[in-house]
Amino acid sequence: MKRMILGLLLMLIGSVAVGILSGNWYFHLFRQTVPPAVLTSFNQATAHGAFLLYGFVIGAVIFLWSLLVLALARFFRRA
């Protein structure tokens, strides 16, 4: 049981890390495409926070999807 909890914890940390890294990468793309004349420091800070929050949510969705796959995998095994 302890190995299962450790595996789920590692899966949660990994999926949230992937989500936050993707949010940070999309923020980098946002900074490259938006002209500096339009982008204020407030807009840049709120956009960065929003991208990180969306990345966290995407990481949580990846984790929930993985849990669903693990739960349904036993129904698709061969006898």
pLDDT of res. 76:
86
Return the domain boundaries, the chain.
2-76
DSSP state of 76: G
pLDDT of res. 64:
96
pLDDT of res. 74:
87
What is the pTM for the complete model shown? Answer: 0.84
- Residues 23-72: pLDDT tens digits? 999 999 999 999 988 889 999 999 999 999 999 999 999 999 999 999 99
pLDDT of res. 36:
86
> What is d(CA 55, CA 60) in angstroms, rounded to the nearest whole number?
9
> What is d(CA 56, CA 50) in angstroms, rounded to the nearest whole number?
10
Whether 74 and 26 have beta carbons less than 8 Å apart is answered as no
